Structure 1
Amino acid sequence: MTAIPDTSPALPNRLSPGALAALITLLVGAACIALEPAFAWLVKWPAAWTFPATDWVGAVLEAVLGALKPFARMLASLLRYPMDGAHFVLTRTPWPLVIGVTTALGWYLGGLRMALLGALGLGFVLASGYWIESMTTLSLVAVSVPLALMMGGAIGILANEVPRVKSAVQVLLDVMQTVPTFAYLTPLLLLFGFGPVVGLIASAIYAAPPMARNVMLGLERVEPEIKEAAVMAGGTRFQQLFQVEIPSAASQIMVGVNQCLMAALSMVIIAAVIGGFNDIGWEVLLTMRKAQFGAALLAGLVIVVFAIVIDRMSGALAIERKRHDPRIAYGVLAVSVLVTLVFWGRLPDPSGFALLDPTADAVDAGLTAFTVASGAWLDSVKNGAMFYVLLPLRIGLDQAVLPFTWGFMWTPTMSLWLFAAGAAAGLVLIARGSVVGGLLLMIAVGILETGIANLPWPFVLTGTAALCWIAGGRKLALISVLLLLTILLSGLWERALLSLYLSGAAVFACAVLGGAIGLLCAVSPWAWRIVRPICDMLQTIPLFVFLIPVLMFFQIGEFSAFLAICAYAIVPMIRYTRFGLVSTPDDLIEAATASGATSVQIMKDIRIPYATPSLLLGLNQTILYAFSMLVIAALIGTTGLGQSIYLALGQADVGLGVSAGAAMAILAMIADRIVQGFAEERRKALGL
């Protein structure tokens, strides 16, 4: 009798590290769900078990800041002089001269196109009636950027010259860039007092890390032959660094200057939340609070214009290209001086132009008419997204499914059926050889039933440790768990899960939609021509401005915050997806084509696998962008750590502000390290 061969897929004798990590996480989660009725502390950490870490941090910082306050107030008094000087020069300089200087600089750097950008951009600012407010903002940037450049340059040179501190400097830069911007303002407010100096210092702190990173990167990339030539010439280390290496790294350093300028402009706008000076950021905030969305949009567009002009001109400085004829630049400058002299004393007050006020009023009227006519449709979109997507993700199906929203009541029996269906589907995947996929499906079903905000803390710690172990080894897993324990013991755990829920939902939406748009742009050059300027514009808009359009249509609420986060965080996913897909080596594509593969097969089996490191890098940047925007979104009704930071700023509660900011930085850094670990593993697998 002939034996019938066994055609069922063979299961591995030993689980892979990924499957083992997923299995442990699944078992811990199942145990928590089963034991929750008897041990409620598995889900909700008892308040009696928390430490008053916020109070401790506040007490220590207030003592330290109190000791530093005299020095800080003296520094604030000194900084008032350059700030007042820059403000006097920019606000008192006749507007034709400012426009002429900008146009002339634009011609010299980029020719006719950039000259027109400068002239039309500042012409728009003048026509808006916000000239004085814009010059006030520009005066803050003019003082904060040199401070940031000096700090960032010094940090970058220190890390290059003293290798032992390089790793510590990188950690410091990570912390500076992941701690939410609002968290800077609370301790600085106590140190420097109320007023524009807080915005100046916060702007310099926030803008220094991009400069430091680019200085480090530029000095690392200096060719060894150039360094050896400098040594052979007999120069001192000081001469080698400042006469050879830094000039050789000038292009990369100028990229840092560009990023520093943009970061400083963004932070100055955020600092307007504390008030104290009449700048364009305060105008945006004031008009938003009054629900004057036409005026808010106009003021926001002024910020966008400034950001685009500064970005393009500073970006041109980073590119080594032939400059345009300086004689034309001198001619433009001479014309502006002549116009200023001819009309001296008769120039119209720039604040009196307000040529675009009718447009702003028309926007308000049109928006009012649109919301009245389409209010039911807009509410249905918002309520549908909240009731059927965001709310189940937040609190789980067992609490979100109600007769008022879904038409029926969720019962424990439904939970059992959902778990059974998830287990069955997962076992099918495991039987087909996808062990990790099956286990992850079961975990996802459990999260959907429970909700991210209600996840048991042992499950979160175990899942994070498992991911970190796979991505970066035991050290990363141990450090991540210890950091999460600090959030748990400090009493910020529930707020941290709320932040994780909203940022996670936004990142998932950006990954799906941004990945699809990036894929379209990779296969269609015409699509990229349309999408690219939109991405450029979105990346130059300060975070504050993203709140205006969502408020115009959906008012204050969690859905508006979700849309604002998505609008800001989607760009890296689009760019890195397209870049990875179009960067596949030609020889791989030619080999696949020669073997008869279709375009779909080439995309699925060649381009996407090869682009995985770029896709993961885009995901990494999307995560960091989402966390950055989360605190800004607290202005329009989010909950979680972002709201705590914003409330701490209003109450001058330095302990809560710093603790909540540190908690958000911890979440962002853990996510960053996990994604970077997977990307590095994939690069090694591809031999990159």
Structure 2
Amino acid sequence: MQTVPVFAYLVPILVLFGFGPVAALIATVIYAMPPMVRNTTVALQSVPEQLIEAGKMMGCKRRQLMWKVMVPAALPSIMVGVNQVIMLTLNMVIIASMIGAGGLGYDVLTSLRRLDIGGGVEAGFAIVVMAIALDRLSQAFAERQLRPQPDKSLPLPKRYPWVTATIVVVACATLASLFIPFFRVYPIEQALTTGTIWETTIAWININFFDAIDAVKTFLLTWLLLPVKQFFGGIPWPVGIVVTGLAAGRAGGWRLGLLATAMMLFIAATGLWNKAMITIYLTSVAVLLASVIGIPLGIWAGQNARANSVIGAIIDTLQTLPSFVYLIPVIMLFRVGDFSALIAIVLYALAPAVRYAAHGIRSIDPELIEAGKVAGCTNWQLLRRIKLPLAAPSLLLGLNQTIMLALSMLVITALVGTRDLGQEVYIALTKANVGKGIVAGLGVAFLAIIADRVVNALARQSRERLGLE
């Protein structure tokens, strides 16, 4: 569900359910559900064994052990999954608008078709504002503290002041909307717009920083992108299949090696080998840059509350800004090509690396950190010898999600001139070629599945070496 590009299953969904909100709903659920499954699995597996044993000793049945012990203990990590679902659902609004969902996504889509920078970014930020509000609400729910029960002798308004105030405001606004049009529909003539600000900003950057931007682009193309592209492009398909199978087998056993070999053989047999190598090249460079930038930011945010609030707001903006919105300023600043695709992918895939790193650092038992301080560890030793090893499962889950988001963004970047599997999926969608779209989508999915299984195997080995399993 997570690795097949959304465009690949958009055509079958349209054929089965037609054009409209039902098809959009089904596509959104398929796209947004996997992070919830992954986070719930990791959260329940991370519950301390002592808590589970204590529940068993108290006579908990299997259902009671799950809902009264494990789920409450895993709730903070589960709520991270809820947060990811909210972000991905809102990120899907533009693609959903292509098949009849409407809403803000349709505004962004029409702005993109007109290359209206101001209108597209403005509608995108409207989605971001909604996402940040829902993100803060989900985080507050996960971190809320148990409060003492209110005095039952007090009247209801004094026992529940916030609930009472909310009901009063909603009731007054509803009554006012029945008689005053202003409270029902905001007057269009009084609407504010920031579109001209964004257009002016992009134009100013282009005029004043074109040489610097071009120099950075040339440097990265010359010393990073082109060498990596030439390396992957020069791998013969038999060598690539054998090396992938051996590497996967070394990491996760012979079954994983056979699975990886079969999947790579499918890609080669369907004539998609060269496209797949370009996909791997773009994804690997983007994931590398996203991890190099995101993991240190996440570690910083996990240890500093003020940094967490600032970085969290930036990450929420990057993650909730619809993927199509990135393409307008990126094209205006960097033109079309692999470099523009790389910038868009890094911005889109950065969020999991930051979020999971911060969550992993915050989830470490404070007693272990205190033990390290008592043993005389410096701050650097605490980070290197205690915090990072214990946060490894979250870091690797973040790496996994970064790879998934990078691959999903590749289909979108086909619009800026890439020549990878994403372009094959996009061409199949435009021609309503279900078979070609599914085959190319499976190619992307197989690459993602191999990466996912190898990363999970490496994480398991790391935990075993540290004695965590």
TM-score by length of 2: 0.81
1:394 aligns with 2:229: yes
- Matched residues, percent identical? 40
Q: Classify 1:338/1:552 alpha carbon distance in 2 versus 1 (closer, same or farther; 3 Å).
A: farther
Q: Classify 1:329/1:579 alpha carbon distance in 2 versus 1 (closer, same or farther; 3 Å).
A: closer
**Correspondence 1:271-670 to 2 at 5 A:** 271-272=96-97, 274=98, 276=100, 278-316=102-140, 325-344=162-181, 349-350=185-186, 352-353=188-189, 355-357=191-193, 359-395=194-230, 451-521=231-301, 527-578=307-358, 580=360, 583=364, 585-586=368-369, 589-590=372-373, 592-593=375-376, 599-600=379-380, 603-604=383-384, 607-609=387-389, 611-670=391-450
Q: Letter of the aligned partner of 2:188 in structure 1?
A: G
Q: Letter of the aligned partner of 2:206 in structure 1?
A: T
Residue 299 of structure 1: CA displacement?
0.8
Residue 303 of structure 1: CA displacement?
1.2
Which whole-Å CA distance do the structure 2 matches of 1:458 and 1:532 have between them? 45
Structure 1 window deviating more from structure 2 (255-264 vs 491-500): it is 255-264
Conserved? CA contact 2:115–2:328, under 8 Å = no
Where in structure 1 are there 5+ consecutive unaligned residues? 1-175, 232-239, 396-450
1:186 aligns with 2:21: no
Residue 313 of structure 1: CA displacement?
3.5
1:200 aligns with 2:30: no
Conserved? CA contact 2:2–2:30, under 8 Å = no
Residue 554 of structure 1: CA displacement?
2.2
Higher Rg of the two aligned structures: 1
Q: Classify 1:227/1:491 alpha carbon distance in 2 versus 1 (closer, same or farther; 3 Å).
A: farther
Residue 604 of structure 1: CA displacement?
4.7
Q: Classify 1:571/1:206 alpha carbon distance in 2 versus 1 (closer, same or farther; 3 Å).
A: closer
Which whole-Å CA distance do the structure 2 matches of 1:325 and 1:309 have between them? 18
Task: Give a deviation string over 1:579-602, Cα, whole Å, max 9, x none.
Answer: 556738226523652xxx655455
Residue 465 of structure 1: CA displacement?
2.1
Q: Classify 1:373/1:478 alpha carbon distance in 2 versus 1 (closer, same or farther; 3 Å).
A: same
Q: Classify 1:685/1:246 alpha carbon distance in 2 versus 1 (closer, same or farther; 3 Å).
A: closer
**Correspondence 1:95-174 to 2 at 5 A:** none
Which whole-Å CA distance do the structure 1 matches of 2:446 and 2:462 have between them? 25
Which whole-Å CA distance do the structure 2 matches of 1:365 and 1:307 have between them? 26
Q: Give the SS at the match of 1:177.
A: coil
Residue 277 of structure 1: CA displacement?
5.6
Conserved? CA contact 1:507–1:623, under 8 Å = yes
Task: Give a deviation string over 1:523-559, Cα, whole Å, max 9, x none.
Answer: 7665445323323433444434433442342243321
Conserved? CA contact 2:132–2:313, under 8 Å = no
Residue 218 of structure 1: CA displacement?
8.4
Where in structure 2 are there 5+ consecutive unaligned residues? 148-159
Which whole-Å CA distance do the structure 2 matches of 1:485 and 1:391 have between them? 26
Residue 211 of structure 1: CA displacement?
5.2
Which whole-Å CA distance do the structure 2 matches of 1:313 and 1:521 have between them? 19
Which whole-Å CA distance do the structure 1 matches of 2:169 and 2:300 have between them? 43
Residue 324 of structure 1: CA displacement?
5.7
Which whole-Å CA distance do the structure 1 matches of 2:360 and 2:42 have between them? 22
Q: Give the SS at the match of 1:178.
A: coil
Q: Letter of the aligned partner of 1:356 in structure 2?
A: L
Q: Give the SS at the match of 2:346.
A: helix
Conserved? CA contact 1:219–1:246, under 8 Å = no
**Correspondence 1:2-81 to 2 at 5 A:** none
Q: Classify 1:651/1:195 alpha carbon distance in 2 versus 1 (closer, same or farther; 3 Å).
A: farther
Residue 177 of structure 1: CA displacement?
1.6
Q: Give the SS at the match of 2:19.
A: coil
Which whole-Å CA distance do the structure 2 matches of 1:292 and 1:684 have between them? 53
Conserved? CA contact 2:373–2:382, under 8 Å = no
Residue 294 of structure 1: CA displacement?
1.1
Task: Give a deviation string over 1:453-498, Cα, whole Å, max 9, x none.
Answer: 2212233223222321221111111111111111111111111111
Residue 499 of structure 1: CA displacement?
0.7
